[in-house]
Structure 1
Amino acid sequence: MQEPIKLETLNDLDLSKDFNIGLACTRPAIPGFDMNSTALIVDHGDESNELHQAYSYQQLDKASNQCAALLSELGLIKGDRVMLWLPNVIEFPIAFYGTVKLGGIAVPSSILLSGDEIDYLAKDSGAKVLITTAALAEKLHLDTLEESELAHVLIIDELAETASTSSKIKFQSFANLLASSSDDEIAVNTCYNDPAYLVYTSGTTGYPKGVLHAHRALLGRLPAAYHWFDYQSDKTDRILHSGKFNWTYVLGTAMMDPMLLGKTVVVYNGDATAETWPKLIAKHQCTIFIGVPTIYRQIIQKTEFSAKDVPTLRHCMCAGEHLSDEMLGLWQDRFNQDIYEAIGMSECSYYLSHHPARPIRPGSAGCPQTGHKIHLLDENLEPVKDGEEGMLCIDEQDLGLFIEYWQLPDTTQATRKGGYFLTGDYAKRDEEGYVWFLGRRDDIINSFGFRISPHEIERVLKTHPDVADCVALEEEIGPDKNLVVASVIRHESSTLDETSLLAFANEHLAQYKVPKKIYFTQLFPRTANGKVLRKQMKADLKN
C-alpha cells in the first residue's frame, strides 16, 4: 500500500519517488480500510440476466494483478500501449489498472467510434494489445491494422472461432487468459512523472490528437475531491455517473477519483431513458449523482421523479456543457438539490468548479480549486484585472497537467509559454473570485457534452465523391443546445441529397460526430485570403 496523500502536502511531493495509479486506486491508502468494501457496481439493466455485478477492492486488486501478469506474458513491457475499446463493464477497470500496474499506458477508446476511427487510434498510439468485445471487434479493418503494431486482440465475451483472418494479429479470450494468470503483484517501478494513460481529443488537423498523462495526474485531480465533490468522511458514499468509462470526465470522476478515497462507484451498461437515472439512484442508494446537463434536462422534462423518490441523494454534479440558469432552478424546485458545475479539459481535467462551501453564482464556472494554480492573462502573459477578459492559463508545475500531445512536439510546445499552459479558453473574474467562462477562440463544436473538431467531420465528408467542399458547424436550437450540422458544396451536376450524405457519414463517423442536418450551398463566405468565415456562417444559420 502506498503512503496516504493529502491535499495540503501536494506541493511538497518528491516527483522522483515511486507512485502508481493502479496500486493507489485498488489499495486505498486509508488507515484501517476494509479491502472487502465494494469498489464498483456495474448495473446491466432489467433486460439482463445478470442485473448487476459488484466487485470489492480485494477482487479488483487481484483481477488487475492478473491482467498485468497476462500482459507481461504477452511480451508487454513498461511504456507499451494497451487500447481499451469497451463499454461500461467490470473488465474496463480491471484492464485499465492492470495496464498501469505493469507500467504500461492505457488508451481508453469510445465504443461510438467507427472502424476507420479505431484503426487510426490503434496506428497512432502504437498499441500492441486491444481489449474489446466480439461485437466491436467485427468493426475492425484487419487488412489496414496489419500495418500497425497491434499483435493481440483480447475478447472479453464470446470468442468466435473465425474471429481473425489476420496472419499477424492473434485473437484470444481475455477471460481465459486472466483466469490462468498469477495474481501476485508485478514489481514494475513507476514514478509520479511516468506516463500512465493516453486519451484522444478533437484535433485541428482533421484527426484526433493524443493527450498523454502521467501517474501524478491522479493527485492533480485530488483538489476536485475537496472543491467539487462533497464526500462525507464518516459515511460510505455511492457515486452514480451517467457516462462511459472511456470519457476522461467519467474515467476520473467515476473511477479513479472516488477509488483513490475508497468510495463505491456505480455505472450503467444498457439502453437508458430519462427514468433510468432516478431509478438507479434509488436502487443502489446513491448519495452523489454526476452527469451532463442534458441528462438533468431529460429527467426534468420527461419524468415525474422528485426528491421523495431519491431520499439518499444529497449532492449533484455536472460538466461537459454549460448548465442553464433555468435548468438549475427547475432541478432545485423538484429535487431540493443544487447542481454543482465544473469546467475542465482533457489536458488538465477539472480546475474550476462550484462547491457547497460557497454560494452558486448561476452562469459562472465557479472558482479555481485550491491546489490548482490558475491565472487569467492577457496576450503578454500579464494578469488581467477583475472584470477584464483574459485567457485561462495553468501553471506548468500543476500535477494534473498532461505530459505532451502524443508524437506532436510542435503542438505541445505551442501551448506552453512563460511557465504556463495556454488553454485557449477565455474568461473574466469578478471581485468575489468567481470565473465567468467566455468560450474558446477556436472552432471546436460543443454538442450535448461532446467537444468535436469540425475538421474531423470535414475530412470524412470530403472523401465522398460528390462533395466538392464542406464546413462543419454547430447550430444553436435552444438555450445551451447545439446540433452538429454541415454546409456542403456539391460537384457540378451532382444530385447528392441529404439522406445519402448522412448515410455516408453514419458509416464513417462516430454517432456523436454525424451531422444532424446538411445545408447545400454554392459557395462559402471567405476572407480575402480565402479563409472560410465560420462565425458569419454560424450567424447566418441563427438568423
Structure 2
Amino acid sequence: MMNLGDALHSQAQRIPQKTALFCGESRISYQALDELTTALAKWFLDQGLQPGDRVAIHWTNSIQTVQLLYSVFKAGLTAVTINTRLKAPEIEFMLNHAQVRMCFTEAVLLPSAEQAGGGCTILSELPVLPTAEADPRALPPVDPDEPALLIYTSGTTARPKGVVHTHRSLYSTVVITVRAIGPRELEEGVALCVLPLMHMGALAGLFSTVCLGGTTVLLPRFDPAGVLEAIEEFRCTSLTCLPSLWHFIVDEQARKPRRVSSLNAACAAGDAVPVALQTRFEAVFGLPLQEGYGMTESVPLVINPKGAIRSGSMGVPVEHVALRIVDVAGVDVPEGETGEILVRSPANCIGYWNDPGATRAAIEAGWLHTGDLASCDSDGYYWFRGRKKEIIIRAGSNISPQEVEEALYRHPAVLEAGVVGQGDSVYGEIVVAFVVLREGFRAEASELREFAQKHLADYKVPEKFVFLAEMPKSPVGKVHRRALRGMLVSASAMAV
C-alpha cells in the first residue's frame, strides 16, 4: 500500500513547482519538499537510527516541522510529537517513556528540551543537506503495520498515554478525510492550519492536503487577527479550529471585518460546539460552521454534512467508520438513549505505547472505547452527552486531574488535592483545584498557581482554587469528584 512519503513523492512528480506550504514569508514547492525530506530520511539512517526508532519533534507549526514529519515517515522511523507548551518535567517523561533517540527542538524552546534531557541527542537545527542526489529508491521499504506516529494524550491516569498510529492507520486517516471533505476541495483549495501539528485533527488535514496536491498555510501560533489576515492574504478556503478559538475569531471579524469570502469550509472540532457559536458564526461569516468529532486515537469519525447541518449535533459517521452506542454491559442501547461511543475504523490507533493494560481496556475485538457519551436519533445524527472518563478537556486539550494533583502535592503546604473541570462558555471546561492545607501552613491561591506554572503546561494550571478543611472521599477512600463538582455551586466554598 502507499504511505504518506510515497504520496508526497507522487505529487512532487505530478506538480513539482506548485507551492505545498506557506509559513510567514517562506514557501516550499512539492519538489523541494520531497527532495529535502528524502535527503533527511537518508541522513537519519546514516546516523545509525534503525527502523522503528523514535524521533521527537518539539517545534511550532513551520515548514521544518513538516519536513521532519515526512522525513521520519520515509525512513521508517516513528515521530513523537511534543506539545510546545509543556514544561521540562512533562517533556522528560515523554522522552524517557518513548525511549527517544533524537529530539529536534525549535531554538526558542531549546532550554526546556535541554533541561528535560531524556538521554537523547537534542538538535535545534535541521542539517543542511545536498538534495541533487536524493533518490527515494535508495531508502528501505516501509512496513505499513509498523508505528509511524506517537502522540501523548492525557487520560484517566496521572501520566499521559502514548497513542500509536501505524503507517497504515495514518494513510487510512487520509482516505477517510478525503471522502468526508471531497478530493476537489483538498486539491484546489488552500487550507489554513492553526492547530499545532501535534493535534491529530491538524495532522489529518495536513496529510490529506499533501496527498491530494493542495496548498497549506501554516501559522506558528494562534492569533485571531493573524488568522483573518492569513485568510485574506492567501485566499484560504478551509479552516478547522477548536470551538474556543472560533469564539475569538468571530469576535475579531465582527470588530474589524476582513475580506474572507474565499473561506467556504469552516469546521469546529475537539470539543462540543455551542449552538450560540454556530449561530453567531453564520451571521458574521455568511456560511455555516460544521461540527465534527474525532479523537487522537481515531479521526475523523463524525461530521455534520454540508447542506444538512443540525446545530448542536456532532453529525453523522463518515464513510468507512462504524459506530456503536453501548451501555455499561457493552450492549447496544435503543435509539435516542445515551451510552458510550465505540468506534471501528481502519484509522484507529493500534494501542498505547508500552502500555498493554491500557490497550486491552481501550480496544476490544476491533472496537475502540472512546469514553465519550452520546445518543443517536432516528436520522443517524449523533448528539454528544458528556464524558465517561474524568478527563478535563480545556479548549480541545486533554488534562488529567491526577497529573494536576500530582504537581500540587509537590508544594509543602498541600496535604490533599482534588481536581475537577468546571463548564465554561469559552473553553468548554476550566481546571478547578480543591486543596486541604497542612496544619500550621499557609498558602494563597496566587502562590499555588505560580507553583503549578513551574511544573505544568499553562493550559493545565488551575484557574480557580477552593480551600477546604476536609476533602470529601468515596466509600473506598478516593477523592469524591462528584461531591467536589457539587461544591462549585455551593456557597460553603469560595473559589479564588
Is 2:179 the partner of 1:198?
A: no
Provide the rounded CA distance (Å) in 2 between the counterparts of 1:78 and 1:67: 14
Is 2:202 the partner of 1:250?
A: yes
Provide the rounded CA distance (Å) in 2 between the counterparts of 1:181 and 1:532: 62
1:236-275 pair list within 5 angstroms: 236-253=188-205, 255-270=206-221, 272-275=222-225
How far 1:539 sits from its partner (Å)?
A: 2.5
1:120-519 pair list within 5 angstroms: 120-141=93-114, 145=117, 148-150=118-120, 152-156=121-125, 174-176=126-128, 178-179=129-130, 183-185=134-136, 186-221=138-173, 222-227=175-180, 229-230=181-182, 232=184, 236-253=188-205, 255-270=206-221, 272-304=222-254, 309-356=259-306, 358-395=307-344, 398-478=345-425, 481-519=428-466
How far 1:421 sits from its partner (Å)?
A: 1.9
Judge conservation of contact 1:65–1:182 (CA < 8 Å) in 2: no
Provide the rounded CA distance (Å) in 1 between the counterparts of 2:361 and 2:158: 18
Corresponding position of 2:64: 91
Segments of 5+ residues of structure 2 without an aligned counterpart are 491-496
Amino acid corresponding to residue 155 of structure 1 in structure 2: S
Report the TM-score when normalising by structure 1.
0.85
SS in 2 for 1:502: helix
How far 1:20 sits from its partner (Å)?
A: 2.5
Provide the rounded CA distance (Å) in 1 between the counterparts of 2:427 and 2:81: 28
Judge conservation of contact 2:59–2:84 (CA < 8 Å) in 1: yes
Amino acid corresponding to residue 383 of structure 2 in structure 1: W
CA deviation string 1:73-95 (max 9, x = no partner): 21101010000000111111111
Report the TM-score when normalising by structure 2.
0.93
Judge conservation of contact 2:35–2:131 (CA < 8 Å) in 1: no
Provide the rounded CA distance (Å) in 1 between the counterparts of 2:183 and 2:489: 42
Against the structure 1 CA distance between its residues 426 and 345, is the aligned structure 2 distance closer, same or farther, given a 3 Å change threshold?
A: same
Judge conservation of contact 2:11–2:212 (CA < 8 Å) in 1: yes
Amino acid corresponding to residue 38 of structure 1 in structure 2: T
Provide the rounded CA distance (Å) in 2 between the counterparts of 1:258 and 1:234: 5
Segments of 5+ residues of structure 1 without an aligned counterpart are 1-17, 44-51, 157-173
Judge conservation of contact 1:21–1:97 (CA < 8 Å) in 2: yes
CA deviation string 1:138-177 (max 9, x = no partner): 12355x73xx451x21212xxxxxxxxxxxxxxxxx234x
SS in 2 for 1:87: coil
Correspondent of 2:20 among 39, 49, 59: 39
Amino acid corresponding to residue 263 of structure 2 in structure 1: L
CA deviation string 1:253-285 (max 9, x = no partner): 2x2121111111111125x53222111101001
Provide the rounded CA distance (Å) in 2 between the counterparts of 1:469 and 1:481: 26
Amino acid corresponding to residue 61 of structure 1 in structure 2: D
How far 1:70 sits from its partner (Å)?
A: 1.6
Judge conservation of contact 1:206–1:455 (CA < 8 Å) in 2: yes
Amino acid corresponding to residue 351 of structure 1 in structure 2: L
Amino acid corresponding to residue 465 of structure 1 in structure 2: P
Amino acid corresponding to residue 22 of structure 1 in structure 2: G
Against the structure 1 CA distance between its residues 288 and 140, is the aligned structure 2 distance closer, same or farther, given a 3 Å change threshold?
A: closer
SS in 1 for 2:224: coil
The root-mean-square deviation of aligned C-alpha atoms, in Å, is: 2.1
Higher helix content, 1 or 2: 2
Judge conservation of contact 1:488–1:521 (CA < 8 Å) in 2: yes
CA deviation string 1:314-359 (max 9, x = no partner): 1111111211111111111111111111111111122011121x51
How far 1:241 sits from its partner (Å)?
A: 2.3
Provide the rounded CA distance (Å) in 2 between the counterparts of 1:179 and 1:425: 49
Amino acid corresponding to residue 533 of structure 1 in structure 2: H
Provide the rounded CA distance (Å) in 2 between the counterparts of 1:235 and 1:181: 27
Higher mean alpha-carbon deviation, 386-395 vs 298-307, is at 298-307
Provide the rounded CA distance (Å) in 1 between the counterparts of 2:330 and 2:254: 50
Provide the rounded CA distance (Å) in 1 between the counterparts of 2:340 and 2:355: 23
Corresponding position of 1:73: 46
Provide the rounded CA distance (Å) in 2 between the counterparts of 1:121 and 1:489: 30
